[in-house]
Amino acid sequence: MQLITGISELVVNDLDTLGELGIITDAALLIDDGRIIWSGPSAEADTAVSSRLGESVGKGLNDDDIANGEVTSANDLGGLETIDLGGKAVIPGFVDSHNHLIFAGDRSEEFAARMAGQKYSAGGIATTVAATRAATESELEANLVHLLEQAKRQGTTTFEIKSGYGLTVPDEIQALDIINRHTEESTLIAAHVVPPEFKDEPERYVDLVIDEIIPAAEGKAKWIDVFCETGAFTEVQTRRIIEAGKTVGMKPRLHANQLTEGGALKLGAELGCVSVDHATFASDEDLAVLAEAGTVVTLLPSIEFSTRQPYPDARRYADAGVSLAIASDCNPGSGFSNSMPFVIAIGVRDMHFTVEQAVWAATAGGANALQRTDVGHLGVGARADLAILDAPSYRHLAYRPGVQLVERVYSGGELIVDNRPRD
């Protein structure tokens, strides 16, 4: 069992309300068996520990022992690890609900061309498809692990990971098998782009996805996703693929309105998508439909940063009553960053999130986009997934962009990252 004290600001989070961080100052946090069992003011920690742990810490204590004052301090309880942070902020581990981490190859040259003025289009995905198909399973997994470790050092504890760079039955299934070794949030996006061999026959590829890839992926993918966009898949094709995925038990989500203001957002709401992602272009009618449907809109700030697309105004989306999340969308082409603090800083600076909204969207919002109630917050019963900041306030995540502020990371109560300097 662990008692963490000396927390300057504890971000607890309300999963239902954008920006409602539930801050406790001068706080303490009690963890047992990988879960949060209490949080509150440090001054109440001894009482909380005594009343909650009793004989479970191995001293045979009962209610009379506690009432009679035999337990007066947390330190009287055996088997309790106490960690004093000395005035540092604690936030929930980031929930990165949109990632493309199974790939091979490098597209830095493409990035440089964009920065020199070349317009981004979805066609560059084919470059990664070729490299991914040529890579071995061990090479793909090693790259995935490398990227996951980088992200964990930045405070991310929950990952959604998509397939989508193989685009054949064996390649997509191989990707899902790798993903499932590292997260339960696996997504099949065989409909990422039409592969080169089907360039002139896109309907044949759609048939392949529906008739062969989706059946082969049954039980291997929690989610089904489609890139519904000019240059990728039409709304008619998207509907067919999403419905096929739902038939075998996959939950729907969608890449929508990244490059153009089409009908993908309304389609996502109609199809019952849990989340529609990108949503760079959205009309007032789109936002009203999404708010009515309760569909989460996952904004991806690093994509606009990397492609020089216009930044959507998160304040407008929030005012429309839309549920919001932000994620990294780490991928080798349109945005190769797996840093959620970086995403928060961009969201605040260029998308007009308040700091509170951005931190919430990167934690509780991501949990909502994955239909998870055990992560994204630090309420009683939640997984003890948390990041300790080398700062007195969560506000420093946007206030000090580019600085390594995540000092330690816990996943299920276990220390998985320690960025503190070594003597």
Q: Which pLDDT tens digit goes with each residue over 99-152?
A: 999 999 999 988 998 899 887 665 678 889 999 999 999 999 999 999 999 999
Q: What is the pLDDT at residue 124?
A: 77
Tell me the percentage of the chain whose pLDDT exceeds 70. Answer: 93
The pLDDT of residue 47 is above 50: yes
Tell me the percentage of the chain whose pLDDT exceeds 90. Answer: 88
Q: What is the pLDDT at residue 54?
A: 62
Please tell us whether the domain made up of 2-92+378-418 is placed in CATH 2.30.40.10: yes
Neighbours of 289 (CB within 10 A): 20
- State the Cα–Cα distance between residues 351 and 326, nearest whole angstrom: 11
Q: Where are the alpha helices (DSSP H) in 163-253?
A: 169-180, 202-208, 214-217, 235-247
Annotated binding residues for N-formimidoyl-L-glutamate = 165, 331, 333
- What are 252's two structure tokens? 């729907």
Question: In the predicted model, what is the mean pLDDT of residues 312-335?
Answer: 97
- State the Cα–Cα distance between residues 17 and 364, nearest whole angstrom: 9
pTM of this structure: 0.93
Give the closest residue to 126 by CA, choosing from 6, 227, 255. Answer: 227
Q: What is the pLDDT at residue 71?
A: 38
36-46 residue pLDDT tens: 999 999 999 99
Q: What is the pLDDT at residue 66?
A: 39
Of the chain, the end-to-end C-alpha distance in Å amounts to 27
User: Given pLDDT bands bounded at 50, 70 and 90, which one contains residue 206?
Assistant: very high
Quote the DSSP letter at residue 78: T
Q: What is the pLDDT at residue 126?
A: 84
259-283 residue pLDDT tens: 999 999 999 999 999 999 999 999 9
Residue 78, CB half-sphere, CA atoms under 13 Å: how many? Answer: 7
Question: In the predicted model, what is the mean pLDDT of residues 292-312?
Answer: 96
> Would you list the domain boundaries of the chain?
2-92+378-418, 94-369
Residues counted in the chain: 423
Higher confidence at residue 163 or residue 127? Answer: 163
Q: Who's near 381: CB < 8 A, 6+ residues apart? A: 35, 36, 374
Q: What is the pLDDT at residue 122?
A: 58
Annotated binding residues = 98, 100, 107, 165, 192, 255, 258, 329, 331, 333-334
Question: In the predicted model, what is the mean pLDDT of residues 211-216?
Answer: 98
| DSSP reduced 3-state for 104 | coil
* Pair type for strands 386-389 and 24-32: unpaired
217-248 residue pLDDT tens: 999 999 999 999 998 999 999 999 999 999 99
| Centroid of chain to Cα 371 | 11
Q: What is the pLDDT at residue 422?
A: 87
Annotated binding residues for 4-imidazolone-5-propanoate = 107, 165, 192, 258, 334
Question: In the predicted model, what is the mean pLDDT of residues 391-414?
Answer: 97
Quote the DSSP letter at residue 192: T
Annotated binding residues for Zn(2+) = 98, 100, 255, 329
- CB 363, CB 376: distance < 8 Å: yes
- State the Cα–Cα distance between residues 62 and 9, nearest whole angstrom: 33
- State the Cα–Cα distance between residues 313 and 281, nearest whole angstrom: 10
- State the Cα–Cα distance between residues 243 and 224, nearest whole angstrom: 9
Residue 327, CB half-sphere, CA atoms under 13 Å: how many? Answer: 32
Higher confidence at residue 136 or residue 52? Answer: 136
Neighbours of 283 (CB within 10 A): 12
User: Given pLDDT bands bounded at 50, 70 and 90, which one contains residue 181?
Assistant: very high
Q: Residue type at 32?
A: D
Tell me which fold the domain 94-369 belongs to: TIM Barrel (3.20.20)
Poorest-pLDDT segment among 59-63, 346-350, 379-383, 397-401: 59-63
The pLDDT of residue 197 is above 90: yes
User: Do 2-92+378-418 and 94-369 agree at the fold level?
Assistant: no
Annotated binding residues for Fe(3+) = 98, 100, 255, 329
Report the mean per-residue pLDDT for the chain.
Answer: 93
Q: Who's near 367: CB < 8 A, 6+ residues apart? A: 15, 95, 97, 158, 373, 374, 375, 376, 377
